[in-house]
Structure formats: structure tokens, C-alpha cells
Copies of this chain bind each other. A is one copy, B any other.
């Protein structure tokens, strides 16, 4: 990947880790167990791709960097809560996440459910606080948009469809709907958050559309990696989706068809950035990164 993109990704990850560390409570009292689990799940690294999109979008809009980082941290809390709950035995039943025991393996299921609940709750609190943006109307928009992206008409609804997917006989349209809810909505909110922080409605629409296409491309390349990738590189067992009987873009379109779809989605994503000209360089590089990623 281009040097400046790699640098920006790494810098955002470091900055958002610090922000998460600052914003999460510290463990104290008999309720400290849930706080430890929140911190374990939220501070465990990862690419921090959603925070990158927030900060790159905010940079285009000329938004205060601290406002952007707080918003990025709130979104990452929501992403991490969803991973904790999705990993539970009643859901995807995963013992490992990024090479470490999942929260319910490290503690127990009750602690994992509660840590997820508390991360989701803290995310909304952070967005509502004055330090996120001086204009209250903008903070309520952030709260409402995050809720839409994360709730029954977004991420939670997508996970519900995903769990039922083996029996739904989803075609490409059905898969697209599933992924638009499960991951697309939060990625699109991430990309558009900078425009919300600026109060620029037109830029918000363009960046949201970019994020939706990029998020879908991310899922298509995930399916491709699930077939082509090596276990060590993608951090999970290749072929897991197929073994679970879940339809994927590869199972529906073949490997060649999925690659064509990923390419056309990233092209369409980048097309939404025309209005920003050179300022959107990092977001264009992010699309290349999604298309060419090996992990």
C-alpha cells in the first residue's frame, strides 16, 4: 500500500487507541470486572479501519482533530461491542479474536454480554458530550445516525439476517442487503461522520454513498480471501463460511464474478469522491487497499 496511506492508517490507530484509553472507565469496585472486559475488547488493536475513515473524512472537511478522534472512538466502541456479542456461543461461537481468547472465553458469557452492552452505551454518551462538538444539534445528529447504523435497521438487523442466512437461500441481492445492514451502515456512518461534524449535508451524502460501496466491497473481498487466503494471513480459518453453509459472494458469483464485483464497487465508491478533488486522496487509497488487501 502507498506509504502515506499506511502512515495515516497507523497514525490513526495509535491516536484512537489513546483516545479509547482516555474515554473508557477504569476498573474500580466490585463492578470493575465488566470495565476490565470492556478495555480488553476495545484496546486490543485491529486495523481501526472505521476510525481511519472518520479521521480521513474529517480531514477533508477541515474538522477539529480531537472532535474527529472522539467520534472515531465512539464508533470503534460500537464495532468492538458487536464483535463481543457476535463471538458468543449463541451467535458465531468463536474462541479467538485477533489471536487472543474472546471475552467470553477470557471471562465468561455474562461478563461478555455486559461488556458489550456497556461499550454500546458509552459510545452514545461520548457522542453526546460537549467535547465531541460545540454544537448540540450536531451531537444529536451523530447520536441518531449512529443509532440508525447500529440498530435493528442496521448492524443488529444484519447480524440477525446473517444468523438465518444458511436457511434463507439468499441470492446476490439478498447478500447485498445483509451486508449493507451488517457492516455497510456503520462503515458509511464512519465515512460521513466528518461531514456531520462540519454540518455539511451535501458532503455527508457523498461520503455516506462512498462508505456504503466501500463497505460492500470490503465484504466481497472478505469472501474472496475466505477462499484464497492463508489461515495465518486472514486470522481465521479459510473456508469457514462455506463450511457453515452460508452463501457468499463467491458461492453466488464464482471467484471471477466476485473479483469483478469488488472492482466495480470500489470504482463506484471512488466516483462519489469527485467533488473533493485532491483532498480525498487518502479515501481513494483506502479503496485500493480494500481491493488489493491480502488480510
Give the interface segment out of A2-10, A132-140, A243-251: A132-140
* A282 within 8 Å of B (CB atoms): no
Contact of A136 among B117, B139, B151, B164 (CB under 8 A): B139
How long is the Cα–Cα vector from A139 to B128 in the complex, in angstroms?
9
- Classify the interface of chain A: helix, strand, loop or mixed: helix
* A21 within 8 Å of B (CB atoms): no
What sequence of 0s and 1s flags, for each residue 42-66 of chain A, a beta carbon within 8 Å of any chain B beta carbon? 0000000000000000000000000
Residue of A30, A135, A143 with highest tally of chain B CB at under 10 A: A30
Which residues of B sit under 8 angstroms from A30, Cβ to Cβ?
Answer: 160-161, 164, 168, 174, 177-178
Q: Name A131-154 residues within 8 Å CB distance of B.
A: 135-137, 139-141, 143-144, 147-148, 150-153
Which residues of B sit under 8 angstroms from A161, Cβ to Cβ?
Answer: 29-31
A142 to chain B, nearest CB (A): 8
Report, as a range, how many residues of chain A touch the other chain. Answer: 35 or more
Q: Are A128 and B113 CB-contacts (below 8 A) given A122-B151, A160-B31?
A: no
Contact (Cβ within 8 A) B174 A118: no
Copies of the chain in the assembly? 2
A160 to chain B, nearest CB (A): 4
Q: Name A85-144 residues within 8 Å CB distance of B.
A: 85, 88, 90-91, 108-111, 113-114, 116-118, 120-122, 124-125, 127-130, 135-137, 139-141, 143-144
Contact of A109 among B90, B125, B156, B174 (CB under 8 A): B90
Q: Are A164 and B33 CB-contacts (below 8 A) given A109-B90, A113-B85, A156-B114?
A: yes
Which residues of B sit under 8 angstroms from A141, Cβ to Cβ?
Answer: 128
* A172 within 8 Å of B (CB atoms): no
Contact (Cβ within 8 A) B163 A148: no
What sequence of 0s and 1s flags, for each residue 219-258 of chain A, a beta carbon within 8 Å of any chain B beta carbon? 0000000000000000000000000000000000000000
* A17 within 8 Å of B (CB atoms): no
Contact (Cβ within 8 A) B152 A118: yes
How long is the Cα–Cα vector from A262 to B217 in the complex, in angstroms?
59
* A159 within 8 Å of B (CB atoms): yes
A112 to chain B, nearest CB (A): 8
Contact (Cβ within 8 A) B33 A160: yes
The 9 A-B pairs at the shortest CB distance, nearest first, are namely: A125-B147, A31-B157, A90-B109, A136-B136, A121-B151, A128-B143, A118-B152, A128-B144, A34-B160
* 17 A-B pairs in the complex with CB atoms less than 8 angstroms apart: A29-B161, A31-B153, A31-B157, A31-B160, A31-B161, A35-B152, A90-B109, A90-B113, A122-B147, A122-B151, A124-B143, A128-B143, A129-B140, A129-B144, A130-B140, A136-B136, A140-B143
